[in-house]
């Protein structure tokens, strides 16, 4: 065998070993990345829950004794009327003719009872609102997600303490409070009755008719009559009409405003029915609402239109009206919705001469309990509003003292539980001597010094509420520290993985063979981590900490253990960076600072959407100027980028509450078809243009010649269906089943068509754009339909920018990696390794991804989900299907962004998974900032938004991954052509 044969065999063996090594590395990399994704999902899910342990731990504790008020019950029975979704201003103000919509209750306010505004606390949804009214406490925000059909936790309520509860109303509310009570008589209408295409006031009539039938039946049924005439009976009528009509027709519509008259008439008929039936003047009446309704027909946040609800009380035990003398109360504090006490009554209400008494929504529960002489619900945090209940001085003091003792019992129980589970307990000092304060109050009552006793009782109640808040956030510092270290560890771990797997750092750091030599170090790090974790677990176990506390600590210790196990790599990386020139360090520092600056701008954009406008106006000026150095202006690319960026900048100036504009939605269909036609024209005519070569089809003809025409036809047809469906709703006509079926078919069929389009980058992206357009149009109500086109144009500008950088970059090939050394392994699918300048791709992606959050309104606000968007597909109330349609509408812009991102990674030949990890890294920089911005003080609109902001960015690790999986169906076949191919073509 000759020397040449030996050399050839050696070369072949070396290639075989290299190929085998690359294959082993690919398999190892896939396994590791699956593990990292699982760890990331678990970490974000666990840490997302941490805010509820830190800021919003459930306020409910058990084991307290009941506190019975030592007063004679003023009322024998109580009627609670809750008009779901009724705004205070629409209830009190006159109509256009100067007539008031609630004449009966207005007469009550003037001659029989008391009135005011009940201030609700977000989330202003039906369930939390009713819990506040009936149980007297504010359910923690997480309870909204735990289910509507049953109580997520056991809690006490006025209904529990009553002798019997009679209730009629919505199937979503009544069973929550009555379903598990043996002493209850209740009924609900079927869900099918809740049709948004009709006037829902008949639901209120149904509730009254059921109650009237029960009362009439009792005249012939002795057992039923005996049930009605007993003491401590509560009658609860849930009136859903205003809520349904507000969602469907908005609170300024004639249907909603007429529904105010309906509930007033029902209150009058209930009053007349019971007064004629009992004839004992021992019935107390309370009329209120669980939440209001925004102008666009939604609720959930802390806007005044959602938190201000009417409150009218009259009957047995309720004070009569008093004229206003102009004096102010001594309390200048704020309500739970951050509105100031003693706010002036609007002149148009015509009630400025009658004393108005505003309350927090939770104050209604102790009011109802005191009227019936029942113990207040044990978890109530409401303060008894003395201005509503008619008691003498001694009884007032006794009632307030009972209210204070009930709250104090909660405080003592929480202190007892925390002391039993803490190795180093820190008590709440202001109430360290509460027993002496109670003795002092009792002595003042015995001495008939009621004014002093009242002051001390109010102070005791205030301190008890402060003590409850103290124990709610007792573990704040410890949990914040653990979670913060966990987030930092996760981000550091992601950086290490990207550097090890997708860059060309010195080979001796990255070789798989080094894993064997590092095994001893890994064992030492893992042993130390296990030992430290065991110590932490023992401490938490001795303190009887919740399971999630163990999870937070375990995740943090695990991540830092993994980091320390890479000590050799980190040490070698540090030595490597220290040996580089200062230019590279400055470049790295500049990239870091610019990235953090952009991410901080995005954080602030959640509260100031106009920042996106300035961002795209600036990019629209700078990027084309920079691009003009690479491509000629005559190519049209710089001009296109300028126009598309400025076009997109308009939409974050639009109101978050999207106004209805059907003609704009229909017209946007024409814009979409025009954009699609322009893209197809370029795809066919620009084959010899070097600026477009890599974006166009390989084949001259599409797979299906008529595919483009078919997609345009579906877009046009969807525009027509938007017009037809909306006209039916505006005429108060039921949406035809045929129309619904056509809408479903158009949306579903159009989304399947892009799978059959040509695989060229421009052709496939254009087909995706046209494929999702019909569904988006059918779910649009206003300017967001145009935003769809503006976003697509801006994404195309991004692709063209990356294409220009790819073809005209003057960076030497030897500098195409972070390390600046020759690549020592082959990345999958022929991708090159990442370089520092590639950080712009995940950063731009994060910008577009966040812009998509706000293009269809204000995604970060609970109340910005516009339910009328789904009426072209369904009008019968179905919360899960409606929510699914709303979420799908909001997802469509994200799908466009991720499709463009995937196309760019194919175009510039960078690993998409590596870029995904960099995207998650950017998101988590924002996540840790939002983690510290979560609020539990001040306005509840700010509190609710801070929670939703944190949740949005925390969920992106899963959200983006799922969207990647979905869009991969459309983008996996995309093919691009290189510059070399264009050169050969010219030759």
pLDDT digits (tens, 9 = 90+) for 878-890: 667 877 888 888 8
Give the ranges where 241-340 is alpha helix by DSSP (H). Answer: 241-249, 254-278, 304-307
For 92-148, the DSSP string reads HSB-TTS-BS-HHHHHHHHHT-EEEEEE--SS--HHHHHHHHHH-S---GGGGGG-S
pLDDT over 80 at 828, yes or no: no
Q: pLDDT value at position 690?
A: 60
% of the chain residues with pLDDT over 70 = 83
Helices (H), 343-389: 364-372
Which pLDDT score, from 0 to 100, does residue 983 have?
Answer: 40
The DSSP symbol for 334 reads B
Q: Write out the CATH class of domain 77-391.
A: alpha beta
For the whole prediction, is pTM greater than 0.85?
no
pLDDT at 134 over 60: yes
Q: CB under 8 Å to 565, separation ≥6 — which residues?
A: 518, 521, 522, 525, 526
Query: SS3 sequence, 383-400?
Result: CCCCCCECCCHHHHHHHH
* Nearest C-alpha neighbor of 401 from the set 136, 69, 156: 69
> Who wins on pLDDT, 471 or 80?
80
What mean pLDDT, rounded, does the chain reach? Answer: 83
Q: What pLDDT score was predicted for residue 544?
A: 79
Question: How high is the pLDDT of residue 830?
Answer: 66
Beta bridge partners of 899: none
The sign of the dihedral angle between the CA atoms of 346, 351, 355, 361 is: negative
Integer Cα distance of 859 and 866 in angstroms: 10
**831 φ, ψ (degrees, to nearest 5):** -75, 150
Averaged pLDDT, 42-68: 85
- Note the pLDDT tens digit of each residue in 257-293: 999 999 999 999 999 999 999 999 999 999 999 999 9
- Altogether, the residues listed in the chain come to a count of 987
Report the pLDDT averaged over residues 213-219: 94
**How far apart (Å, rounded) are the C-alpha atoms in residues 202 and 302?**
29
Cis peptide, bond prior to residue 123, ω within 30 of zero: yes
Per-residue pLDDT reduced to its tens digit, 597-631: 999 999 988 878 888 889 999 998 888 888 877 77
- Residue 805, pLDDT above cutoff 60: yes
Distance of CA 158 to the CA centre of its chain: 31
Mean pLDDT of 355-363: 95
Question: β-strand 233-239 against 164-169: which pairing, if any?
Answer: parallel
Q: Which of 647-651, 781-785, 854-858 has the lowest mean pLDDT?
A: 854-858
Mean pLDDT of 829-850: 86
What are the two backbone dihedrals, phi and then psi, of residue 453, each rounded to the nearest 5 degrees?
-65, -40
Q: Which helix (H) or strand (E) holds 82?
A: strand 77-83
Q: Residue 532: pLDDT above 50?
A: yes
Residue with tokens 């303190």, as numbered in its chain: 543
Q: What is the pLDDT of residues 929-946, one digit of tens each?
A: 999 888 765 444 566 677
Q: CA-to-CA distance for 130 and 159, rounded, in angstroms?
A: 12
Handedness of CA 849, 851, 853, 855 (dihedral sign): negative
- State residue 726 phi and psi, 5-degree precision: -70, -40
User: Cα 40–44–50 angle (5° rounding)?
Assistant: 150
Predicted pLDDT at 318: 97
Q: Where are the alpha helices (DSSP H) in 606-629?
A: 610-627
pLDDT-based confidence at residue 809 (cuts at 50, 70, 90): low
Q: Which of 6-10, 82-86, 146-150, 537-541 has the highest mean pLDDT?
A: 82-86
Instruction: Identify the pLDDT of residue 728.
Output: 66
The answer, yes or no, to whether residue 407 has pLDDT greater than 60, is: yes
| Residue 901 pLDDT | 94
d(CA 554, CA 561): 10
Give the CA count within 13 Å in the CB-facing half-sphere of 721.
29
Q: Once rounded to an integer, what is the mean pLDDT over residues 660-685?
A: 86
Residue 823 pLDDT > 80:
no
Per-residue pLDDT of 379-406, as tens digits, reads: 999 999 999 999 999 999 999 999 999 9
Contact indicator for 762, 610 with CB cutoff of 8 Å: no
Q: What does the buried/exposed string (b/e) look like for 272-301 if buried means 16 or more CB atoms within 10 Å of the residue's CB?
A: ebbeebeeeeebbbbbbbbbbbbebbbbbb
Q: Which of 82, 115, 161, 73 has its CA nearest to residue 371?
A: 73
At 194 the pLDDT is 83
Domain extents in the chain: 77-391, 608-813+826-981
Residue 614 backbone dihedrals phi, psi, to 5 degrees:
-65, -35
DSSP state of 939: -
- pLDDT, one tens digit per residue, over 433-460 is 899 999 999 999 999 999 999 999 999 9
Q: Cα(691)–Cα(705) distance, rounded to whole angstroms?
A: 25
Residues 751-755: what's their mean pLDDT?
91
């Amino acid at each position: 065998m000759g020397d040449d044969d030996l050399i050839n065999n050696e070369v072949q063996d070396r290639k075989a070993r290299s190929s085998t090594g690359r294959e082993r590395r690919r398999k190892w990399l896939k396994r590791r990345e699956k593990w990292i994704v699982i760890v990331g999902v678990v970490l974000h899910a666990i840490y997302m829950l941490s805010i509820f342990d830190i800021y919003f731990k459930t306020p409910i504790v058990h084991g307290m004794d009941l506190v019975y008020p030592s007063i004679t019950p003023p009322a024998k029975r109580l009627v609670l009327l809750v008009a779901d979704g009724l705004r205070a201003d629409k209830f009190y103000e006159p109509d256009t003719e100067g007539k008031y919509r609630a004449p009966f209750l207005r007469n009550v306010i003037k001659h029989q009872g008391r009135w005011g505004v009940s201030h609700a606390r977000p989330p202003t949804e039906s369930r939390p609102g009713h819990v506040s009214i009936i149980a007297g406490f504010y359910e923690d925000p997480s309870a909204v997600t735990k289910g509507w059909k049953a109580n997520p936790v056991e809690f006490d309520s006025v209904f529990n303490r009553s002798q019997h509860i009679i209730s009629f109303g919505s199937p979503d509310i009544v069973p929550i409070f009555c379903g598990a009570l043996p002493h209850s008589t209740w009924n609900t209408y079927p869900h099918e009755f809740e049709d948004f295409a009709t006037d829902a006031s008949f639901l209120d009539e149904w509730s009254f008719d059921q109650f009237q039938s029960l009362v009439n039946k009792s005249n012939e049924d002795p057992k039923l009559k005996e049930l009605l005439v007993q003491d401590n009976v509560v009658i609860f009528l849930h009136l859903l009409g205003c809520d349904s009509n507000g969602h469907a027709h908005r609170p300024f519509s004639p249907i909603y405003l007429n529904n105010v008259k309906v509930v007033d008439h029902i209150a009058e008929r209930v009053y007349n029915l019971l007064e004629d039936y009992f004839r004992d003047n021992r019935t107390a009446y309370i009329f209120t609402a669980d939440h209001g309704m925004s102008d666009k027909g939604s609720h959930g946040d802390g806007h005044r239109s959602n938190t201000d609800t009417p409150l009218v009380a009259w009957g047995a035990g309720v004070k009569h009206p008093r004229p206003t003398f102009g004096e102010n109360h001594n309390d200048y504090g704020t309500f739970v919705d951050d509105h100031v006490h003693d706010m002036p009554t609007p002149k148009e209400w015509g009630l400025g001469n009658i004393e108005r008494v505003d309350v927090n929504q939770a104050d209604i529960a102790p009011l109802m309990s005191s009227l019936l002489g029942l113990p207040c619900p044990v978890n109530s945090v409401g303060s008894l509003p003395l201005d509503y209940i008619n008691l003498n001085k001694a009884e007032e003091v006794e009632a307030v003292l009972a209210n204070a003792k009930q709250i104090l019992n909660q405080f003592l129980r929480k202190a007892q539980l925390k002391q039993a589970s803490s190795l180093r307990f820190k008590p709440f000092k202001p109430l360290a001597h509460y027993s002496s304060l109670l003795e002092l109050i009792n002595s003042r009552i015995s001495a008939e010094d009621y004014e002093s006793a009242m002051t001390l009782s109010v102070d005791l109640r205030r301190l008890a509420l402060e003590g409850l808040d103290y124990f709610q956030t007792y573990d704040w510092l410890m949990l914040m520290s653990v979670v913060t270290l966990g987030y930092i560890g996760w981000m550091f771990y992601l950086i290490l993985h990207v550097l090890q797997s997708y860059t060309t750092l010195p080979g001796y750091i990255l070789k798989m063979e080094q894993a064997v030599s590092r095994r001893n170090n890994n064992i030492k790090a893992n042993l130390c981590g296990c030992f430290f974790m065991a110590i932490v677990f023992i401490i938490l176990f001795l303190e009887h900490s919740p399971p999630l506390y163990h999870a937070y600590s375990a995740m943090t210790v695990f991540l830092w253990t993994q980091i320390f196990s890479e000590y050799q790599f980190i040490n070698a990386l540090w030595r490597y960076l220290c040996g580089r020139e200062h230019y590279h360090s400055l470049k790295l520092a500049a990239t870091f600072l610019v990235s953090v600056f952009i991410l901080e701008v995005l954080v602030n954009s959640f509260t100031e959407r106009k920042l996106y406008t300035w961002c795209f106006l600036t990019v629209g000026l700078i990027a084309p100027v920079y691009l003009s150095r690479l491509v000629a202006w005559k190519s049209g690319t710089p001009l296109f980028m300028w126009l598309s960026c400025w076009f997109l900048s308009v939409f974050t100036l639009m109101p978050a509450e999207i106004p209805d504009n059907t003609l704009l939605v229909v017209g946007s269909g024409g814009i979409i078809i025009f954009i699609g036609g322009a893209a197809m024209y370029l795809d066919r005519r620009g084959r010899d243009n070097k600026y477009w070569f890599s974006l166009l089809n390989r084949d001259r003809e599409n797979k299906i010649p008529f595919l483009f025409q078919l997609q345009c036809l579906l877009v046009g047809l969807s525009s027509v269906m938007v017009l037809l469906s909306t006209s039916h709703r505006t005429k108060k006509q039921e949406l035809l089943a045929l129309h619904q079926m056509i809408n479903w078919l158009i949306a579903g069929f159009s989304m399947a068509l892009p799978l059959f389009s040509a695989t060229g980058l421009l052709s496939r992206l254009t087909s995706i754009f046209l494929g999702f357009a019909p569904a988006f149009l059918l779910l649009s109500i206003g300017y967001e339909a145009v935003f769809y086109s503006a976003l697509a144009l801006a994404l195309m500008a991004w692709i063209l920018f990356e294409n220009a950088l790819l073809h005209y970059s003057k960076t030497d090939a030897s500098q195409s990696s972070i390390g600046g050394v020759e690549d020592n392994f082959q990345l999958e699918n022929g991708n090159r390794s990442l370089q520092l300048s590639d950080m712009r791709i995940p950063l731009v992606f994060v910008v577009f991804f966040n812009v998509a959050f706000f293009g269809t309104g204000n995604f970060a606000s609970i109340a910005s989900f516009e339910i009328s968007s789904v009426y072209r597909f369904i009008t019968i109330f179905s919360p899960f299907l409606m929510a699914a349609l709303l979420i799908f509408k909001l997802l469509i812009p994200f799908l466009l962004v991720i499709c463009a991102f995937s196309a760019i990674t194919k175009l510039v030949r960078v690993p998409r998974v590596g870029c995904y990890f960099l995207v998650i890294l950017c998101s988590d920089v924002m996540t840790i900032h939002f983690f510290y911005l979560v609020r539990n003080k001040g306005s509840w609109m700010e509190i609710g938004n801070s929670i939703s902001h944190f949740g949005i960015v925390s969920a992106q690790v899963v959200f983006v991954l799922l969207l990647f999986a979905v869009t991969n169906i459309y983008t996996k076949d995309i093919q691009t052509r290189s510059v070399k191919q264009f050169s050969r073509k010219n030759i």
